[in-house]
Chain A
């Protein structure tokens, strides 16, 4: 663990990733202290300073009702990160368990579970989340539900593939011979071997969940105003291109920075954990 961290900080690219992610996380955590206009996270109107190009104290400009873009982006990061953490906290255990069971038990279980997974994987990710959001009320909780529903099958597939390979390994056979229970073999013997791959995928996915969630809200199917959200900020601002470019570019770049940061770390982790296996 210490070694992993040392390697992460030694490589310039993964160091950049760590820096970017730290910036995003810190700005989300301490938005209340950093944001010049914390009250702008809500439904505030300031018709004196509306639609202003970046200038002090509005370093990212102001939106059409005069709210500070920079403050809103900080609060939007908070929503994005909460969403990412919650989605992964639910989707990963579900997906991993199904993948382990299908891969280890085989036979009818494998067929049924993997076809179920195929069904979810056969709807383009965004379209599935969209149709779920379509029938539910667009709230943060429902957004999480929709993204979770499209996310777990990827972990099932990942873990299923690993499990199928590990199942034939000597240590699993040995555990079977001494009469270990199925639950013990699945969770104590096979699962630890999937952990590096799962952690790597989770780091990368943290970025991708933010990306997909912003896509949903871009289409108007996510978090609703006045809650600040990167995707809906881009959507609202897109109508005022190119004149009010700051309305779209800054939230757009904010998404890019966060996702890029997580991807840089995820990539480095894959190299490190992959090499250590």
Chain B
């Protein structure tokens, strides 16, 4: 376990450097904004004095390095500033909207893994056969449309024409669930309200699936590609010559070594859903970060833009660290090597 701990420490350190880089990048992008954010925030009727006061308060008159210094000191204290759009702390806004987005992304990620990987395994096991061709075509279609197009198609088919699922929202209005974790699927269970849980689960199926579709396709394609390569390895021939059952060869002997190189990309795809969730939320009126994010971008709300991107990037990096640890755990060469990889 020692190599794992060392790997974790190393990855955390690298991620911190990258996160600081991200903060600089986003900060720089936000400050090259044309127009005066103070004037935009205060509206057309503000006096020159009011604008000057807000500029001073936001340190807008200092040079950019000094501004970044103030900013990073605030971030270190967990303060992302006040949103000029909602007039509330950015952290509070994000805490309000992020759980709904994360819930959607996590369910979609689960779908990606639970549907995409088995599809890839079947495809590789029956490579060259009809099943393989069908799965390949479906997964290619999955990655060929943005999630909002899938959202529209799924909504038309399964909410309007075949009214199997609700059209919008996270839960029906008749259920009053006070937020504890912000994750409705968890909060309803905490409250012990199974029907509310069912209702929330029913609401999340279509948006999560729309979000997951391209990830499912990607995971299936990647798994297939890596497994087809693995099937050429001597250890698979050895397993075949010993007559191990074909299913066991596919699910264990060929899948496990192929999973390791796939995981990095699957992790990236999973993290990309944080951005794509914006598209699906817009169609299904999902009360997540999307509306807030687009609103603050259109209003040039600096603090909120920087804060939102920073939080999303930190989540993204966290996912990557988890994936790296998972890889290390699954790959005995890393887990049991004396030197960290």
The residues of A with any CB-CB pair to B shorter than 8 Å are 13, 115-116, 118-128, 130-137, 207, 211-212, 214-215, 218-221, 231, 234-235, 238, 241-242, 245, 248-249, 252-253, 255-256, 259-260, 263-264, 267
Kindly state the separation between the CA atoms of A137 and B19 in the bound complex, as whole angstroms. 27
Is the pair A123, B22 in contact by a Cβ cutoff of 8 Å?
yes
Q: Does B137 contact A (CB under 8 A)?
A: yes
Q: Does B2 contact A (CB under 8 A)?
A: no
CB distance from A46 to the nearest CB of B (A): 25
Which listed residue, A124, A221, A255, A263, touches B275 by the CB 8 Å rule? A124
Kindly state the separation between the CA atoms of A130 and B295 in the bound complex, as whole angstroms. 11
Q: Which 7 A-B pairs have the closest CB atoms?
A: A126-B275, A134-B297, A124-B275, A119-B21, A242-B160, A260-B144, A252-B149
Which listed residue, A13, A119, A132, A256, touches B137 by the CB 8 Å rule? A13
Question: Which chain A residues border B161 with CB–CB below 8 Å?
Answer: 242
Question: Which chain B residues border A136 with CB–CB below 8 Å?
Answer: 34
Is the pair A124, B146 in contact by a Cβ cutoff of 8 Å?
no
Is the pair A218, B282 in contact by a Cβ cutoff of 8 Å?
yes
Q: Which of B29-46 contact A (CB under 8 A)?
A: 29-30, 32-34
Q: Does B276 contact A (CB under 8 A)?
A: yes
Is the pair B22, A122 in contact by a Cβ cutoff of 8 Å?
yes
Is the pair B146, A211 in contact by a Cβ cutoff of 8 Å?
yes
Is the pair A135, B300 in contact by a Cβ cutoff of 8 Å?
yes
CB distance from A212 to the nearest CB of B (A): 8
Most chain B beta-carbon contacts within 10 A, residue among A119, A127, A215, A267: A127
CB nearest neighbor in A for B297: A134
CB nearest neighbor in B for A207: B144
Is the pair A124, B271 in contact by a Cβ cutoff of 8 Å?
yes
- Knowing A124-B272, A252-B153 touch, does A116 contact B305 (C-beta < 8 A)? no
Question: Which chain B residues border A255 with CB–CB below 8 Å?
Answer: 145-146, 149
Kindly state the separation between the CA atoms of A207 and B29 in the bound complex, as whole angstroms. 27
Is the pair A118, B145 in contact by a Cβ cutoff of 8 Å?
no
CB nearest neighbor in B for A262: B144
Kindly state the separation between the CA atoms of A13 and B312 in the bound complex, as whole angstroms. 38
Kindly state the separation between the CA atoms of A218 and B151 in the bound complex, as whole angstroms. 13
Q: Which secondary structure characterizes the binding site on chain B?
A: helix
Q: Which secondary structure characterizes the binding site on chain A?
A: helix
Q: Which of B257-303 contact A (CB under 8 A)?
A: 268, 271-272, 274-276, 278-279, 282-283, 293-294, 296-298, 300
Is the pair A125, B25 in contact by a Cβ cutoff of 8 Å?
no
Is the pair B279, A131 in contact by a Cβ cutoff of 8 Å?
no
Is the pair A256, B149 in contact by a Cβ cutoff of 8 Å?
yes
- Interface residues of B, CB < 8 Å — how many? 51
Kindly state the separation between the CA atoms of A115 and B15 in the bound complex, as whole angstroms. 10
CB nearest neighbor in B for A261: B144
Is the pair A122, B317 in contact by a Cβ cutoff of 8 Å?
yes
CB nearest neighbor in A for B148: A218
Is the pair A267, B140 in contact by a Cβ cutoff of 8 Å?
yes
CB nearest neighbor in B for A118: B18
Q: Does B97 contact A (CB under 8 A)?
A: no
- Knowing A234-B149, A242-B161 touch, does A135 contact B279 (C-beta < 8 A)? no
CB distance from A92 to the nearest CB of B (A): 20
Question: Which chain B residues border A215 with CB–CB below 8 Å?
Answer: 146, 148, 276, 279
CB distance from A20 to the nearest CB of B (A): 10
Q: Does B102 contact A (CB under 8 A)?
A: no
Question: Which chain B residues border A116 with CB–CB below 8 Å?
Answer: 21
Interface code B318-335, partner A: CB below 8 Å = 1, 0 otherwise?
A: 001000000000000000
Q: Does B12 contact A (CB under 8 A)?
A: no
Q: Does B155 contact A (CB under 8 A)?
A: yes
Question: Which chain B residues border A126 with CB–CB below 8 Å?
Answer: 272, 275-276, 278-279
Question: Which chain A residues border B32 with CB–CB below 8 Å?
Answer: 135
Is the pair B146, A220 in contact by a Cβ cutoff of 8 Å?
no
Which listed residue, B18, B152, B320, touches A252 by the CB 8 Å rule? B152
CB distance from A272 to the nearest CB of B (A): 15
Is the pair B29, A123 in contact by a Cβ cutoff of 8 Å?
no
Kindly state the separation between the CA atoms of A13 and B21 in the bound complex, as whole angstroms. 43
CB distance from A183 to the nearest CB of B (A): 28
Most chain A beta-carbon contacts within 10 A, residue among B143, B144, B148, B275: B144
> A118-B21, A215-B146, A256-B145 given. 17 additional CB < 8 A pairs?
A115-B14, A116-B21, A123-B313, A124-B271, A124-B274, A126-B275, A126-B279, A130-B294, A131-B26, A131-B30, A135-B33, A214-B146, A221-B294, A221-B297, A238-B152, A241-B152, A252-B145
Question: Which chain B residues border A267 with CB–CB below 8 Å?
Answer: 140
Is the pair B282, A127 in contact by a Cβ cutoff of 8 Å?
no
- Knowing A124-B275, A215-B148 touch, does A264 contact B300 (C-beta < 8 A)? no
What are 30 contact pairs spanning A and B, CB under 8 A?
A13-B137, A115-B14, A115-B18, A115-B21, A118-B21, A119-B22, A122-B19, A122-B316, A123-B313, A124-B271, A124-B313, A126-B275, A131-B29, A131-B297, A134-B296, A135-B33, A135-B34, A136-B34, A212-B146, A219-B279, A220-B298, A231-B148, A238-B282, A241-B155, A242-B161, A245-B156, A249-B153, A253-B149, A256-B144, A260-B140
